[in-house]
Amino acid sequence: MRLILDTFVPGDRAGFPSASDLGAPEYALDLASLNPRKAERRQLETVLRLWDSRGLGVALGGRPRKFSSLSQSEREQVLLGLAESRVGAKRALFGALKGVAGISYYVSSDADGRSAAWDEIGFPGPLGLRADAPAAPLSPTRVSADTELDCDVVVVGSGAGGGTAAGVLAAAGLDVVVLEAGEYHDDADFGGNEKVAFRDLYAPAPTVSTEGQIQLIAGSGLGGGTVVNYTTSFRTPDHVREEWASYGAEQFAGDEYDSALDAVIHRLGVNVDHDLAAPRDALLETGAKALGWSVAAMPRNVKGCDMGVECGRCGLGCRLGAKQSVAKTWLVDAAARGARLLVGTRAMKMLSENGRAAGVHAVSGEHTVTVRARAVVVAAGSIQTPALLKRSGLGNPNIGRYLRLHPVSVVWGRFDDRVEPWVGSMQSRYVDELRDLDGDGYGVLFETGPATPGLGSVFMPWRGAAAHRAAMAELGHLAPMAVLVRDKDSGEVKVDRSGEAVVHYKLSPHDTEHLMQGIEGAAKIWEAAGANRIATAQQTEVAYSPGRGTAADFASRARAAGAAPGTLALASLHIMGSARMGGTPEVSAVNPDGEAWDLPGLVVADASCFPTASGVNPMISIESIAYMNASRLAARLA
């Protein structure tokens, strides 16, 4: 790992640290060790064991030479040979290594908590822990022995879906137990430190689709993704609701779902009062207005947000407690009404009796946890929910299918003045001018997001160590525009022999074309905003300077470079639709109540339920579905 990472970031004799100098290889291996999928851990071990062999030298570079015997320049050529290979698996390997190198290096610091790489960027480093942070509002339990519990409803997962469902069910007077695989972190634990947050607050696996085309980013811990998300709080668009209703869950188009949306908006305190534009969002707004395109303030679930330095690190946890996550709202409501919250407890299989769901078998470290219940709510997220259903023997063929990911890439705009993209409101403006490209409600949404060095490196191509260092040094002058595709076509969640989730997803030609139209639109916005250089996140250099190129030519070259695995940095922060709701078992995994066709008493209440992609940041939609499904379940149990 040191050989590989030190090739990506070799450092220099003038004091600029190498990856090894900052302990990045150790951090990379630490993250890899958290992966619960043994097959992937073994695969990495095999690659690392063979990497410095003559045999792999032939496979990678065509010559029987050990990697360690090559010069820095020759090592770089080996890596670039992978990046430029016609073989998708080789490009995917390069993409994985590049991602590991960038994140591990740019989140790391020396013994004094500093990095010369940060200094070169002008990045001030982590904010640090607050000595005056208030006491945490929740007191979850970690089991210390084999445990058996009884309750009315056991809820698997504590994020947007599970947290909301727990609050609704407890408010109905039901005895609720919540099982969370992650840990509990609150204001006093958040220091704006990428290294800590990526390890503690994000799911360790799966982190990439099997094809290597798209990175998967999901929250982990009590409160799930609502603790680290960007506070973006869109209601489900009307045309999406109509589409969802057409699958047989007709309430999506009616008053019941209206009431659920209203209840969630109210509980989270969603508002547009915290709409001070971050520097990057001000540029987005300037460019959109110059084009005559629609741009609006972002509704956000915050109270007392600073909309500045603190807010820019909110994806690493909100130190101010301003973000109204479910760990500040619905879970607090649930705990106040007696709900029991268990952390570090992973659900492995559903229990059933007489053809109905009857509880959950889980593990916590070396201990077993058995929770017997009248009903089970599964809200483990759109990767782990279908995996749990499959491990439990449910046979509906739609379980795991119709996975939507809102594929996102970045178009960078470079500006003369410093932008400092890690500063300012997480997301305070959006542009939806191209939301409907074909007349069927499918298109792209433009947003910006904070780019700290580690996250920024994910979308920064690597074309050699010196070139990458120079590009990262410019980060303070760059504004990242996210091009978010409402994907019409889908992927699938499967499980391996051990029952662990495996994600299959290939961006379809239809959705790739929409992505390319979005890249062209983003270039137009940045050009209108005054950018002096505009570039994609593709491995092949695709860039232009306004006045010496056009957005149309830029888009043409982006299409030529493509979006195949390993050619373009793509990520998903919105994972949806793998156990969708519908009117019949032929088209859906769960019925209009969210109840599994195969197992009465088992209700799904998270983004898995989405019949199709939401087209907007999904938090409010997830919580509203959970509110509705949990309300229906409470009525049945009563």
For the chain, the straight-line distance linking the first and the last C-alpha, in angstroms and rounded, comes to: 57
Q: What is the pLDDT of residue 62?
A: 83
Judge contact between 94 and 79, C-beta under 8 A.
yes
Range of the domain at 89: 2-121
Catalytic residue among 185, 406, 468, 574: 574
**81 alpha-carbon distance from chain centroid:** 29
Is 468 part of the annotated catalytic residue set? no
- Residues forming a β-bridge with 176: 153
Q: What is the pLDDT of residue 60?
A: 85
405 backbone φψ class: left, alpha, beta (φ>0; ψ -120 to 50): alpha
pLDDT in tens, 134-185: 999 999 999 999 999 999 999 999 999 999 999 999 999 999 999 999 999 9
Task: Supply 373's token pair.
Answer: 């219940």
Flag residues of the chain having pLDDT under 50.
none
Judge contact between 288 and 294, C-beta under 8 A.
yes
Q: What's the chain's Rg over C-alpha atoms?
A: 24
d(CA 111, CA 165): 44
pLDDT in tens, 425-467: 999 999 999 999 999 999 999 999 999 999 999 999 999 999 9
d(CA 557, CA 541): 9
Q: What is the pLDDT of residue 13?
A: 85
Q: What is the pLDDT of residue 14?
A: 86
Q: What is the pLDDT of residue 4?
A: 97
Q: Quick one: 372 exposed, middle or buried, by C-beta within 10 A (0-12, 13-18, 19+)?
A: middle
Q: What is the pLDDT of residue 43?
A: 92
User: Which of 185, 220, 178 lies closest to 201, judged by CA?
Assistant: 220
pLDDT in tens, 323-340: 999 999 999 999 999 999
Domain annotation covers residue 207: no
Number of structural domains (the chain) is 1
Task: Supply 195's token pair.
Answer: 């290294």
- Residues forming a β-bridge with 572: 216
Domain annotation covers residue 296: no
Q: What angle do the packed helices 279-291 and 509-529 form, to 10 degrees?
A: 100
Coil, helix or strand for 446? strand
Judge contact between 444 and 435, C-beta under 8 A.
yes
User: What is residue 236's DSSP assignment?
Assistant: P
The residue to which tokens 């994609």 are assigned = 536
Domain annotation covers residue 417: no
Domain annotation covers residue 63: yes
Q: How long is the chain?
A: 638
- Residues forming a β-bridge with 302: 323
Q: What is the pLDDT of residue 602?
A: 98
Domain annotation covers residue 566: no
Q: What is the pLDDT of residue 15?
A: 86
Domain annotation covers residue 278: no
Helix (H) or strand (E) holding 544: strand 543-544
pLDDT in tens, 549-559: 999 999 999 99
Judge contact between 57 and 43, C-beta under 8 A.
no
% pLDDT > 70, the chain: 100
Domain annotation covers residue 605: no
